């Protein structure tokens, strides 16, 4: 059973709060049980993952029924949504249904059904995540993997039923949905979702009658919190301030510590691997470093060159490709044995695509990614190939290269370099927004006469940018 706390006989008031909606543990079990009663068959359910109690109830309902959940970003454009629905084989839809979606809608039953015992190896969540090229891939996470990943975090963060987790992150990624909601429901702590991850909303919870003990954010969220010192100071009494999903600049780490009186806990993870590395609640928190493997996870750093297979030294300086192994890893990409095989380094090791260094104490620092084609903007993982393909569909675009350029707030901002005539910047941005999620829109389009290419004709993205 993944959500163990839901089987406890004792009720818990305010177990889940999303904006103004409040459910006790018993209330959630009842609502999710009624949702489960309305699921037709046992195929995956696509959940329109708005930041709402409905999403929590639907996801929990699917898990109680032993049916895989496919969270669909609520703003995903038709091209992206069609791909997710087709590829996942979703058999039903939960939430507000766009006209073009013809799947049957889940209608909650009058009576809740009891949770079923499911095979822990069965996919519990299918999370769509970008690769360097093509449409997003569905990472299959089993109930066993999710449980192992969460149990590791309970240990390293000292997370207990007495905690209250607070965040406002999207409910269609590991960070917001799995850690931020399922984590609480597994251990039995409370969770408050602020609908949007705005500083004033975090501060309002911190100053309320029911303050949080752990606040989660991506670096962009923390950047906005420190820009509002009053909001930052409201978080001073929290037990842990946790940052992850993208690199936390050292200056931001220091500023959080200065304003709140406590250094943030950094942790590193991926959709495919859950959380691998983290600082400990009671241990060292080092700016620029993401800590030690969580219980059950192992890491190794292999040389950047394929010819040399000797692991790089743990000297805190030599960069290697980060590989991860452990029971919290995904079971593969849906319908993509090629991509699954490519990510598999053998013997259970998964190639993360990240570059890292490790010191003698086992602390890790992420120094970058192997490919410039995976962009992290606001904590979202975005493949440049997917945006390029959509832009190339536009009649005024002859050639295009999409890159991530440094941005103080977002970490990286999406910039499209376009060779073509006719289209304006706004037209091209709107063209992307009409097909893909909003966060995949380029922030900027730069029209150029030609793209830099090597003698083989390949675009040299590293030569682009200001």
Measured distance CA(143)–CA(445) in Å, rounded: 42
Binding of residue 270 to ligand MCA (CB under 6 A):
yes
Binding of residue 442 to ligand MCA (CB under 6 A):
yes
Question: What would the x/- binding string for ligand AMP be over residues 108 to 137, using CB under 6 A?
Answer: ---------------------x--------
Selection from ligand MCA, ligand AMP, none that 176 binds (CB < 5 to 8 A by kind) is ligand MCA
Binding ligand AMP by CB under 6 A: which of 54, 323, 354, 386?
Answer: 354
Which residue, 193 or 441, has its beta carbon nearer to ligand MCA?
Answer: 441
Question: What would the x/- binding string for ligand MCA be over residues 376 to 395, using CB under 6 A?
Answer: --xxx---------------
Measured distance CA(102)–CA(276) in Å, rounded: 38
Which residue, 163 or 323, has its beta carbon nearer to ligand AMP?
Answer: 323
Q: Per CB under 6 A, which region of 6-14, 56-64, 146-154, 167-175 contacts ligand MCA?
A: 167-175
Do residues 171 and 55 lie in contact, with contact meaning Cβ atoms separated by under 8 Å? yes
The β-bridge relationship of strands 265-270 and 240-243 is parallel
Site for ligand MCA in 217-236 (CB under 6 A): 218, 220-221
Binding of residue 271 to ligand AMP (CB under 6 A):
yes
For residue 407, count other CB atoms closer than 10 A to its CB.
16
Which residue, 275 or 401, has its beta carbon nearer to ligand AMP?
Answer: 275
Give the interface size with ligand AMP as a residue count (CB under 6 A).
Answer: 19
Q: Is the dihedral of CA 48, 51, 54, 55 positive or negative?
A: positive
Binding ligand AMP by CB under 6 A: which of 376, 431, 440, 461?
Answer: 376
Site for ligand AMP in 275-294 (CB under 6 A): 290
Q: Per CB under 6 A, which region of 2-10, 44-52, 216-224, 249-257 contacts ligand MCA?
A: 216-224
For residue 444, count other CB atoms closer than 10 A to its CB.
12
Binding ligand MCA by CB under 6 A: which of 429, 436, 451, 464?
Answer: 429
Binding of residue 343 to ligand AMP (CB under 6 A):
no
The β-bridge relationship of strands 274-278 and 292-293 is antiparallel
Q: Which of 39, 43, 16 is nearest to 27 (CA)?
A: 16
Residue whose structure tokens are 């073009």: 100
| Residue with the CB atom nearest ligand MCA in the bound state | 378
Binding ligand AMP by CB under 6 A: which of 266, 323, 386, 388?
Answer: 266
Question: What would the x/- binding string for ligand MCA be over residues 168 to 207, using CB under 6 A?
Answer: -xx--xxxx--------------------x----------
Selection from ligand MCA, ligand AMP, none that 369 binds (CB < 5 to 8 A by kind) is ligand AMP
Phi, psi (5° rounding) for residue 94? Answer: -120, 135
First-to-final CA distance of the chain: 51
Q: How far is the CB of 402 from ligand MCA (least distance, A)?
A: 12
Binding ligand MCA by CB under 6 A: which of 108, 149, 269, 326?
Answer: 269
Binding of residue 269 to ligand AMP (CB under 6 A):
yes
Binding residues vs ligand AMP (CB under 6 A): 129, 174, 244-247, 266-271, 290, 352, 354, 366, 369, 376, 381
Which residues of the chain form contacts with ligand MCA (CB under 6 A)? 169-170, 173-176, 197, 218, 220-221, 244-245, 269-271, 378-380, 429, 438-439, 441-443
């Amino acid at each position: 059973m993944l959500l163990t706390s839901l089987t406890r006989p004792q009720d818990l008031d305010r177990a889940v709060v999303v904006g103004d909606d409040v459910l006790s543990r018993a209330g959630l079990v009842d609502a999710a049980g009624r949702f489960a009663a309305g699921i037709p068959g046992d195929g995956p359910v696509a959940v329109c993952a708005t930041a709402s109690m409905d999403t929590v109830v639907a996801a929990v309902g699917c898990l109680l029924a032993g049916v895989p959940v496919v969270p669909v970003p609520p703003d995903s454009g038709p091209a992206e949504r069609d791909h997710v629905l087709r590829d996942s084989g979703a058999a039903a839809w939960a939430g507000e249904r766009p006209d073009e979606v013809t799947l049957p809608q889940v209608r909650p039953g009058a009576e809740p059904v009891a949770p079923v015992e499911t095979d822990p190896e069965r996919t519990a969540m299918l999370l769509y995540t970008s690769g360097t090229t093509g449409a997003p891939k569905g990472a299959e996470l089993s109930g066993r993997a999710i449980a192992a990943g969460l149990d590791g975090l309970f240990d390293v963060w000292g997370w207990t039923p007495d905690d209250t987790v607070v965040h406002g992150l999207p409910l269609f990624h590991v960070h917001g949905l799995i850690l931020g909601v399922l984590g609480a429901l597994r251990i039995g702590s409370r969770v408050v979702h602020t609908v949007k991850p705005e500083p004033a909303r975090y501060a309002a919870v911190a100053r309320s009658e029911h303050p949080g003990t752990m606040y989660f954010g991506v670096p962009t969220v923390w950047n906005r919190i420190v820009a509002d010192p009053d909001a930052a100071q409201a978080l001073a009494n929290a037990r842990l301030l946790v940052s992850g999903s993208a690199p936390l600049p050292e200056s931001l780490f220091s500023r959080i510590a200065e304003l709140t009186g406590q250094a943030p806990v950094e942790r590193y993870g991926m959709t495919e691997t859950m959380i691998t590395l983290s600082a400990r609640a009671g241990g060292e928190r080092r700016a620029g470093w993401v800590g030690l493997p969580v219980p059950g996870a192992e890491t190794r750093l292999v040389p950047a060159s394929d010819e040399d297979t000797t692991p790089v030294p743990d000297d805190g300086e030599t960069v290697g490709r980060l590989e991860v192994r452990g029971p919290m890893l995904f079971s593969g990409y849906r319908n993509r044995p090629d991509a699954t095989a490519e990510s598999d380094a053998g013997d259970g090791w998964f190639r993360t695509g990240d570059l890292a260094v490790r010191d003698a104490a086992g602390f890790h620092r992420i120094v970058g990614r192997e490919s410039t084609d995976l962009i992290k903007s606001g904590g979202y993982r975005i493949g440049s190939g997917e945006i390029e393909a959509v832009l190339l569909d536009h009649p005024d675009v002859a050639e295009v290269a999409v890159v991530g350029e440094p941005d103080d707030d977002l970490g990286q901002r999406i910039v499209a370099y376009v060779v073509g005539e006719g289209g304006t910047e706004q037209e091209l941005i709107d063209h992307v927004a009409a097909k893909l999620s909003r966060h995949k829109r380029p922030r900027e389009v730069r029209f150029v006469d030609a793209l830099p290419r090597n003698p083989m004709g390949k675009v040299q993205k590293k030569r682009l940018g200001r």
